[in-house]
Amino acid sequence: MKIIIKNLGPIKQAEFTLGELTILCGKNNTGKTYATYALFGFLSFWHEKFYIDVSDDAIQKLLNEGSVELDIKNSINDSRNILENSCKAFSGQLSHVFASPERHFSGSSFMVELDVVDDMKINYERIMGTAKTQLLSISKKSDSPLVSISLLVEKEEVRVPRDLIHNIIGDALKDIVFGHLFPRPFIASAERTGAAIFRKELNFARNRLLEEMGSGEKDINPLKLLSSVYSDYALPVKANVNFTRQLEELSKKESDIAIHHPAILADFADIIGGRYHVTKNDELYYRPKGTSVQLTMDESSSAVRSLLDIGFYLHHVAAPGDLLMVDEPELNLHPENQCRVARLFARLINIGVKVFITTHSDYIIKELNTLIMLNQNDARLKNIAEREGYRPSELLDAGKVRVYIAERASIKQEGARRKTTCQTLIPAQIDPETGIEARSFDTTIEKMNRIQDEIVWGGDE
């Protein structure tokens, strides 16, 4: 999947391709967070708001006859237009993603390019409806291009709006055509520690709103109240707040990782030095390993708070095919734990969870380099890996990694005759034998080493 962005924050024009691991590096205020938030916003809007258009005739036939068949080839043939229209619609929503005035995004655009696989062998079967009523059966067999849609209630008993039926069917068609191409995103924003420590206050504020909505006062607009909750925050921050508020309910579920890869969760518990626990009263605690002590988030370390969202995601939500996005995973972590988080990411990638990070951490990049360089069919390197405790499940294939440096560079913009210097994203070289070329960090490190060498050994005479 290639993403093309224009006039987004500091970034004038840039493109990047998602890998199994995608990394954005660069100095502060160079556009990394803009690119990250826009990608998360698009994937969220795609899964929650976008759907393939369904003709009124098809809806009418379904309501009249109780069933209808749609040829999925029509949607596949029109996939590029569907995707282009979705991107244009999303570009118009960027101000909502960033909770900023529309004028800041008047010339912005976000586009996605991908190859839609013409795969008729997809099996699909879903039952759709409301909380109380099963409304529609939608299915597709692997040996047929036809999607069969049937009413599960008598047409006289259909009590939902036509628009809702239209959206349900359009969403199913979207999943059949594009489902394998767009990962389900989860983001841990750089503001995640605040959501953890102020969780009670956030719940209290929301409950007060609900009380006001139920008070019966005529001058209260429920929809306006609900839409105004956290409206001043960017979408990823709101996503973190909402996720943190739902921890009690989430803790009742087990993720695919918890079921099939519990060793990954054990590694995570070692990183934070304990475990998270949510009580039946929705109280959140951290339990340090080897003790019976229960600490609130206020009493816990900043590292424990910064990894809270990621911990609950891994335990209760994560599944292969997801995209885990972490803005500055090094936040509040000791260098040793930064390296361990890098190894955790590698394990996730190797079981099918995609990872996207922005980072200022040389420790994370160097550890990822180690995982790439050790992944060779070489006896000497295998001995080093075994001696230093690196497991095969942590080693990384260089071909799965994409790294981009946010910086000013000379590029040819669309429609221009000459190259111009502007803020963009430049792909970094990744070599299986030497790892990632992270010049974003190397220049600073080399300068520090030069100064310290001169302090210790003296300058040239």
Q: What is the pLDDT of residues 301-332, one digit of tens each?
A: 999 999 999 999 999 999 999 999 999 999 99
Predicted pLDDT at 116: 64
How far apart (Å, rounded) are the C-alpha atoms in residues 425 and 12? 10
Tokens encoding 12: 């004038």
How far apart (Å, rounded) are the C-alpha atoms in residues 395 and 131? 45
The residues, any chain, with a CB within 8 Å of residue 387's CB and separated by 6 or more, are none
Predicted pLDDT at 353: 97
Q: What is the pLDDT of residues 243-268, one digit of tens each?
A: 888 888 899 999 999 999 999 999 99
The residues, any chain, with a CB within 8 Å of residue 115's CB and separated by 6 or more, are none
What band does 413 get if pLDDT is binned at 50, 70 and 90? confident
The amino acid sitting at 422 is C
Q: Choose among 114, 20, 113: nearest CA to 399.
A: 20
Name the residue with tokens 């040996």.
143
Name the residue with tokens 């936040």.
331
What band does 398 get if pLDDT is binned at 50, 70 and 90? very high
Predicted pLDDT at 329: 95
pLDDT reading at 151 higher than 60: yes
What share of the chain in percent tops pLDDT 90?
Answer: 53
Name the more confident of 236 and 211.
236
For helices 308-316 and 262-272, angle between their N-to-C axes, nearest 10 degrees: 160
Residue 401 CA from chain centroid, whole number: 16
pLDDT reading at 459 higher than 70: no
Q: Across all residues in the chain, what is the average pLDDT?
A: 86
Q: Choose among 108, 86, 97: nearest CA to 36.
A: 97
CA distances from 267 to 40, 238, 272, 274, 394 (A): 27, 28, 9, 10, 12
Residue 284 CA from chain centroid, whole number: 24
Tokens encoding 5: 């962005």
CB-based contacts of 376-379 (< 8 A; 24+ apart in sequence): 376/432, 376/433
Determine whether 445 is exposed, middle or buried from the number of CB atoms within 10 Å of its CB (0-12, 13-18, 19+): exposed
CA distances from 354 to 67, 90, 119, 397 (A): 38, 23, 22, 13
Predicted pLDDT at 227: 45
- Tell me how crowded residue 412 is: count the other CB atoms within 10 A of its CB: 11
What band does 193 get if pLDDT is binned at 50, 70 and 90? confident
53: left (phi over 0), alpha (psi -120 to 50) or beta: beta
Least confident of 74-88, 218-232, 376-390, 444-458: 218-232
Predicted pLDDT at 74: 85
pLDDT reading at 222 higher than 50: no
Tokens encoding 410: 């000379």
pLDDT reading at 461 higher than 80: no
Q: What is the pLDDT of residues 13-65, one digit of tens each?
A: 999 999 999 999 999 999 999 999 999 999 999 998 888 889 999 999 988 88
Burial profile 185-223: b = 16 or more Cβ within 10 angstroms, e = fewer: bbbbbbbbbbbbbbbeebeeebeebeeeeeeeeeeeeee
pLDDT reading at 412 higher than 80: no
99, 231 Cβ separation under 8 angstroms? yes
Q: What would the 3-class secondary structure string for the chain be?
A: CEEEEEEECCEEEEEEECCCEEEEEECCCCCHHHHHHHHHHHHHHHHHCCCCCCCHHHHHHHHHHCEEEEEHHHHHHCHHHHHHHHHHHHHCCHHHHHCCCHHHHCCCEEEEECCCCCCCCCCEEEEEECCCCEEEEEEECCCCCEEEEEECCCHHHCCCCHHHHHHHHHHHHHHHHHCCCCCCEEEECCCHHHHHHCHHHHHHHHHHHHHHHCCCCCCCCHHHHHHHCCCCCCHHHHHHHHHHHCHHHHCCCCCHHHHHCHHHHHHHHHHHCEEEEECCCCCEEEEECCCCCCECCCCCCHHHHHCHHHHHHHHHCCCCCCEEEEECCCCCCCHHHHHHHHHHHHHHHHCCCEEEEECCCHHHHHHHHHHHHCCCCCHHHHHHHHHCCCCHHHCCCHHHEEEEEEEEEEEECCCCCCEEEEEEEEECCEECCCEECCHHHHHHHHHHHHHHHHHHHCCCC
pLDDT reading at 432 higher than 50: yes
